[in-house]
Amino acid sequence: MSAYSGIIQRFRPGARLLAARPLAGGVSAEVTALQVAHPDGRAETLVLRRHGAADLARDPDIAAHEFRLLQVLQTAGVPAPRPLHLDTSGTILPTPFLLQSFVDGDPADVPADPDDHMRQIAEALAAIHRVPASDVPFLPQQEEQAAALIARHRPEPDETLAESRLRAALAAWPPPRRNPPVLLHGDYWPGNLLWRGGRLQAVVDWEDAAAGDPLADLANARLELFIAHDEDAMAALTRHYLALSGIDPASLPRWDLWAALRPIAGLPGWGLEPEEEHRLRERHRAFTDRALAAVGG
């Protein structure tokens, strides 16, 4: 608690730390909500993000890059937490950290109007993709990441999820470039969207952000919605997004295949209950079969 108090004193002199509680957020980041009392009686909640060993190994400057990215998002009007403070000194905590605003929301918000729900998801995604790649030169190139994943053949592919067929269909990578490179969230799915009262409040967890073809984010969202909801939800998101963005969707089936390949290696380690894993595998395979049929695979 003393380290947290030191952070508050540096960022909000005179304020007092009331409590600290862990939050879910990111694959390897440690995320903590800090409740603060100001001398005038005003209460405030801040969010402390510390990236874990995997993130730091991938990008030692990831905290600074995420802070800069949140600044870009604020300027662009993308619903995201506000960046408040960056510390790379190592004098309070041994690793870099950033403070951002707390967003009061819940990813499990139940929509009263499913189509409007998909429209809001599409609006936020289109807003992200209006940020050109030139505005985020510090981010990795998604096309390189995708190529590395496709080339990473495993000794025992998961054929229940058609892994070999997926890789064969993706052998001629990358697909033709028909869209200018833009900012990508990198993991755009319902778990990274915060809602309150049926309104989207923020897109969170930006540690996988990259620059590349907007179809990458769209394909990932399509897969997640197909698995979590149904084909209608996926179709509604796609319809709204394409109307808002005006991008060329010709290569979408191949990006769908790439999105389907992404989670295969890690799925056994997710710790799902057998029934839930069985359902996820069935839905994943159905999505893959649709994409393979679309590319003639």
Both 45 and 146 in a single domain? Answer: no
pTM of the model: 0.93
* Per-residue confidence (pLDDT) for residue 139, from 0 to 100: 97
Domain of 138, CATH number, reads 3.90.1200.10
Both 153 and 83 in a single domain? Answer: no
Q: Could you tell me if residue 83 is inside a domain?
A: yes
Q: Could you tell me if residue 109 is inside a domain?
A: no
What's the rounded Cα separation, in Å, for the pair 107 and 196?
9
Q: What is the pLDDT of residues 185-206, one digit of tens each?
A: 999 999 999 999 999 999 999 9
Q: What is the pLDDT of residues 109-155, one digit of tens each?
A: 777 899 999 999 999 999 999 999 999 999 999 999 999 999 998 89
What's the rounded Cα separation, in Å, for the pair 242 and 18?
46
Q: Could you tell me if residue 108 is inside a domain?
A: no
Which residue stretches of the chain have pLDDT < 50? none
Both 93 and 135 in a single domain? Answer: no
Beta bridge partners of 16: 37
Both 85 and 130 in a single domain? Answer: no
User: To which residue do tokens 């997640």 refer?
Assistant: 224
- Write the DSSP symbol of residue 86: E
* Per-residue confidence (pLDDT) for residue 110, from 0 to 100: 73
Both 145 and 259 in a single domain? Answer: yes
User: Pick from 101, 134, 151: which residue ends a domain?
Assistant: 101
Q: Could you tell me if residue 88 is inside a domain?
A: yes
- Pairing of the two strands 16-23 and 30-37: antiparallel
Domain span at residue 20 reads: 2-101
Domain total in the chain: 2
- Contact, 202 vs 128, CB < 8 A? no
